[in-house]
Amino acid sequence: MRLILTFITIVMLTAFAVCSLVPQKMAAQTTPTVAQQARPRETPFKTAKEFDAVDVAAIRKARDQWISAFNSGNAVPVEFMFTSDAVFSLPVHASLPAGDSLASAREVFARFNARLAFDEPSEQFVTDGGDPRKISKLPWVSYYAAYTLTLTPKSGGDVIRSRGQFMTRFHRQRDGSLKVIRGPRVGDRASEFTLNFMKRDGKVQLSSLRGKPTVLIFGSYT
């Protein structure tokens, strides 16, 4: 009898040991490394609920300021809030020349009564590395939302309506406010920089290239 009990005990202990080992082995295969855990790979697009409420409020305030500026039909506050980018070129692409925002805004407001609105439920936010918690520390955020733009010609004619997805890049200012970023305009001296070559075999300082025209092409793989 004792022999049988000993045998059963050994079998049970062995079974327990095997059962204990299997999950550990599986866990060892599936648990990410520390490095992987520290650098989560995820989509950078976040909804408002995934951002800090204070930051969302600040971004919406900046957005509302320039929508208000745009809808006022006055180019000056538009110039103050944002510059050159595609907001003016999207809906009336064929009929407006490329140029800085002030010229484009003046032309739009001279020719049209313009109304712009965003669909807040569609909005998404992107900041560096896909970590929404970083937004308070970082100087920029990209804001995506569906927009509706209506341009009513002042001189009569067909109303132009445009709908789509729009991206705005806000840059945090020294006073903490957010404004759409501005690059150097035609006629400005290009901002100085010193950057490494891709192979890290040297650096170049932009101003050292003077004497010949220079073409700067910005882009990425995606």
- The reply to whether 129 sits near other proteins by the rule CB under 8 A is yes
Cα-flanking dihedrals φ and ψ of residue 170, to 5°? -90, 145
- The reply to whether 156 sits near other proteins by the rule CB under 8 A is no
Q: How far is the CB of 104 from other proteins (least distance, A)?
A: 10
The footprint of other proteins on residues 76-95 (CB under 8 A) is 83-86, 89
- The reply to whether 218 sits near other proteins by the rule CB under 8 A is yes
Q: Name which of 153 and 164 has its Cβ closer to other proteins.
A: 164
Q: Which candidate, 108, 86, 101, 102, places its Cα nearest to that of 160?
A: 108
Q: Which candidate, 127, 161, 122, places its Cα nearest to that of 144?
A: 122
Look up residue 120 and give its two tokens.
Answer: 């807040």
The footprint of other proteins on residues 95-114 (CB under 8 A) is 98
Q: Where are the beta strands (DSSP E) in 25-127?
A: 112-126
Taking residues 23 to 42 in sequence order and writing x for each that binds other proteins by CB under 8 A, - otherwise, the string is ----------------x-x-
Q: How far is the CB of 92 from other proteins (least distance, A)?
A: 13
Cβ atoms within 10 Å of 202's Cβ, excluding its own: 7
Look up residue 54 and give its two tokens.
Answer: 């204070």
Phi-psi region of 199 (alpha: psi -120 to 50; beta: other; left: phi over 0): alpha
Q: Name which of 57 and 209 has its Cβ closer to other proteins.
A: 209
Cα–Cα distance for residue pair 55/123, rounded to 1 Å: 14
- Out of 8, 32, 45, 95, name the contact with other proteins by CB under 8 A: 45
Residues whose CB falls within 8 Å of the CB of residue 197, separated by 6 or more in sequence, listed in order: 203, 204
Q: How far is the CB of 33 from other proteins (least distance, A)?
A: 15
Contacts with other proteins, residue ranges (CB under 8 A): 39, 41, 43-45, 83-86, 89, 98, 128-130, 139-140, 142, 169, 171, 181-191, 193, 195-198, 200, 204, 206-207, 209-222
